[in-house]
Structure 1
Amino acid sequence: MGELLRNSASFSIISNGLGCRYQSCSQSRGRNGVCSRRFRGCFFVGSVMKAYRRHVVQCRRNMVWMPVHQCAWFGHFRKKMSPLNFLFGSSRIVPKMVASIESEMDCEDDEENSLIQKGKEEFELDSLGQNLPPWGNLVVDESLDFEHTSTGQPAISSNGKDTVHDSKVHFLEERNEEELSRRVLMLSRSNKVRSALELCRSMKLSGLQPNAHACNSLLSCLLRNGRLDDALRTFEFIKTNELITGHTNSLILKAIADTQGCDAALAMFAELEGDHEQKKRFDVIVYNTALSICGRLNNWVETERLWRRIQQNGYSGTQVTYSLLVSIFVRCNQNELALDAYNEMIRNGLEPRDDTMHAMISACTKEEKWDLALSIFQKILNDGLKPNPVACNALINSLGKAGEVRLAFKIFDIMKSLGHTPDAFTWNSLLGALYRANQYADALDLFERIRKQSSLVNVHLYNTALMSCQKLGLWDRALQLLWQMEASGLLVATASYNLVISACETARKPKVALQVYDHMIHQKCVPDTFTHLSLIRSCIWGSLWAEVEEILNRVPENVSLYNAVIHGMCLKGKVESAKKLYMRMRKNGLKPDGKTRAFMLQNLRKDQFKVKRSSYHSR
Structure 2
Amino acid sequence: MYVMVYGRRTVSCHTGNQTSWPTLKTMCTRSFSATARVKRTRNIPPSDIIQQLLKLHPKDSLEGVQLVLAQHRLDHKAVRCTMQELKAQKRFDLVGILFSETLKHGGAKVGLKEFTAGISACARAQTWQLAVHLFNSMRKAKVVANVFSYNSTISACEKGGQWQLAMQLLDSMRTATICADVISYSATISACEKGGQWQVAMHLFDSMHKVQVDADVISYNATISACEKGGQWQRAVHLFESAHKTKIHADVVSYNATISACEKGGQWQLAVHLFDNMHKAKVNATVISYSSTISACEKIGQWQLAVHLFDRMRKAQVDADAISYSATISACEKGGQWQMAVHLFERMRKTKMHTHDISCKESSNS
1:297 to 66, 70, 85: 85
Shift of 1:472: 2.1
- CA displacement 1:530-557 (0-9 Å, x = unmatched): 3332222111122212323444566663
Query: Residue in 1 aligned with 2:117?
Result: 327
Query: Residue in 1 aligned with 2:204?
Result: 411
Contact 2:96–2:121 (Cα < 8 Å) also in 1: no
Q: Which has the larger radius of gyration?
A: 1
- CA displacement 1:92-151 (0-9 Å, x = unmatched): xxxxxxxxxxxxxxxxxxxxxxxxxxxxxxxxxxxxxxxxxxxxxxxxxxxxxxxxxxxx
Query: Residue in 1 aligned with 2:302?
Result: 509
Count of aligned pairs between the two proteins: 308
**1:478-557 paired onto structure 2 within 5 Å:** 478-521=271-314, 523=316, 525-552=318-345, 557=350
1:443 to 236, 240, 247: 236
**Distance across 2 between alignment mates of 1:345 and 1:378:** 18
**1:137-148 paired onto structure 2 within 5 Å:** none
* Residues 323 and 450 (structure 1), Cα distance of their counterparts in 2 relative to 1, 3 Å cut: same
AA aligned opposite 1:327: A
Shift of 1:499: 1.8
Contact 2:263–2:295 (Cα < 8 Å) also in 1: yes
**1:144-543 paired onto structure 2 within 5 Å:** 258=40, 260-263=42-45, 287-298=75-86, 301=94, 304-305=97-98, 308=101, 311-312=104-105, 320-321=110-111, 324-331=114-121, 333-334=124-125, 335=127, 336-346=129-139, 351-521=144-314, 523=316, 525-543=318-336
Q: Which has the higher strand share?
A: 1
Shift of 1:529: 4.1
Contact 2:291–2:324 (Cα < 8 Å) also in 1: yes
Shift of 1:364: 2.3
**Distance across 1 between alignment mates of 2:322 and 2:231:** 27
Shift of 1:526: 4.9
Shift of 1:424: 1.4
Shift of 1:355: 3.4
Contact 2:116–2:148 (Cα < 8 Å) also in 1: no
* Residues 530 and 361 (structure 1), Cα distance of their counterparts in 2 relative to 1, 3 Å cut: closer
Q: 5+ unaligned residues in a row in structure 1: which ranges? A: 1-151, 154-224, 230-253, 268-281, 573-619
Shift of 1:428: 0.6
* Residues 322 and 438 (structure 1), Cα distance of their counterparts in 2 relative to 1, 3 Å cut: same
**1:12-91 paired onto structure 2 within 5 Å:** none
**Distance across 2 between alignment mates of 1:555 and 1:356:** 48
2:361 to 541, 547, 567: 567
Shift of 1:513: 1.9
**Distance across 1 between alignment mates of 2:329 and 2:275:** 21
Shift of 1:528: 4.3
Shift of 1:361: 1.9
Shift of 1:501: 1.5
RMSD: 4.0
AA aligned opposite 1:434: C
**Distance across 2 between alignment mates of 1:497 and 1:302:** 40
* Residues 503 and 419 (structure 1), Cα distance of their counterparts in 2 relative to 1, 3 Å cut: same
Contact 1:450–1:457 (Cα < 8 Å) also in 2: yes
**Distance across 2 between alignment mates of 1:255 and 1:520:** 52
Shift of 1:329: 4.0
Shift of 1:371: 2.4
**Distance across 2 between alignment mates of 1:544 and 1:389:** 50
Contact 1:361–1:394 (Cα < 8 Å) also in 2: yes
- CA displacement 1:333-387 (0-9 Å, x = unmatched): 3543332222333456764344332322222222233323222222222233222
Higher relative contact order, chain-length normalized (CA < 8 Å, sep 6+): 2
Q: Which has the higher helix share?
A: 2
SS at match of 1:263: coil
